[in-house]
Amino acid sequence: MNFVTKKALSRREALRGMGAMVALPFLDSMVPAMTPLAGTAAAPAIPRLGFVYAPNGMFLPNFHPAGPGGSDYVMTPILSPLEAYREQMVVVTGLSNRGIVSPNEGGGVHTRAHGGWLSGVLPKRTEGADIRAGKTVDQYAADVLGADTSLRSLELTTESNFSVGNCENGYSCTYQNSTSWRTPTTPLPHERDPRVVFRRLFGDGGSVEARMAQMRTDRSILDSVMESINQLERRLGQSDRAAVDEYLNAVREIERRIQRAEENSATTPLPTADQPAGVPDEYDEHVEILFEMLALAYQADVTRVSCFQMARELSGRTYPEIGVPEAHHSVSHHQLNPHNIEQYTKINTHHVSLFSKLIERMHNTPDGDGTLLDHTIMLYGTGMGDGDHHTPYNLPVILVGGGCGTLAGGRHMKYEMDTPFMNLGLTLLDKVGVHLDGIADSTGRLTDL
């Protein structure tokens, strides 16, 4: 137990050094002193909200549980990697995103599925600068949750997003690059390079070039704030010192992984000549290190809102490490071919298994009076239902986390078919304290969620 003083640490307390800043996780010492909670319990929980997007739809019979819904549903193959977190998970069936369907649009279904996933708005067909879609659910959340954090929201991806012009049937590449839109005309770029993400989380001084030069050395960013660390620890009780040590060890380990990735990139032939330093050669490692930094950003309250792309729509990535040498997009056009369905399901399941590692990390991270997962809602899903049909009907939706007590897990929620997906958006916003009258084609909130 920490000694109670008249002055608590600021929630925004940070460790500072030459050209660096390291935010702190929540500590007991940040509870306002001389209150009933001081020294004995945590302050009110801080809600976080995150969205993880997987491309090319799913094979729905291997995702949606059979039966009428409820708590006794049987886990399907694609859901199976999350079995350990069943009691903190809700599977949702019956939601559709009809607002992005237009009988006159023709091709471009992948672009529309992704571009309108979190807004319910049909993207404008254009290859030029006059792009238009809709403000996304995550950014409505960021309007409120991001007001007190150094990063309003954090957008991450595993694939490059530098393409311009036409990416699919007259639609700008922007629609595939950006899951998150701050306004109908302002897409947010997603970052794939862990080194750049690390700098965004922890660098706050000097030029970009100077920070990058410093961070490419073997010297840890934590070394530059060591004096600040020593001063802080003299002010903390035993439990807080242990929490700070654990958190800083996680920061240092991410640094080491980035440095190893850069070293490997310098000595190992790369798949493409323009792959930036800091991006691991292996897909799984790339996803895992980005997820680790996302969890760290939540833990330190650098941000409370996030959006993550497992890959872009139309992704042709192969997965020979799990026995899938065929391209993802190709096998998503399964046409009920058993082999394609098997390969498609392997990819779907593998993506969920990587997501489960993020959930495990959050479950094991203390946060106030619970865990990071207790205070977060993560939505994992796709913009299309079955990738062979290219339609945004009966979308795969997984919700994991407690939402500060607003979301009860262990359930399969089965709604009337074609219930607007934006009804879920409104409901999730309510659960993190953001209240809107409606979004796109929403008709209300989801009952009983």
How many CA atoms lie less than 13 Å away from 272 in the CB half-sphere?
A: 9
Residue 253's pLDDT is: 65
Residue 44's pLDDT is: 76
Low-confidence ranges of the chain (pLDDT < 70): 1-43, 105, 161-164, 202-235, 239, 243-244, 246-278
Residue 271's pLDDT is: 36
197 in Cβ contact with 276 (< 8 Å): no
Residue 9's pLDDT is: 57
Hey, where are the domains in the chain?
Answer: 1-32+196-278, 45-192+305-449
Residue 255's pLDDT is: 66
For residue 286 the two structure tokens come to 């790339």
DSSP 242-264: HHHHHHHHHHHHHHHHHHHHHHH
Q: Is residue 216 exposed (0-12), middle (13-18) or buried (19+ Cβ within 10 Å)? A: middle
**36-46 CB burial, b ≥16 within 10 A, e <16:** eebbeebbebb
Where are the extended beta strands (E) located within 132-267?
A: 154-157, 166-168, 171-172, 181-183, 186-187
In this prediction the pTM is: 0.81
Q: Other C-beta atoms within 10 Å of 189: how many?
A: 13
pLDDT per residue over 14-28, tens digit each?
A: 555 444 555 666 666
Residue 50's pLDDT is: 98
Residue 1's pLDDT is: 35
H or E element that contains 305: strand 305-309
Pick the CATH number of 45-192+305-449 from 3.40.50, 3.40.720, 3.10.50, 1.10.10: 3.40.720
Residue 393's pLDDT is: 96
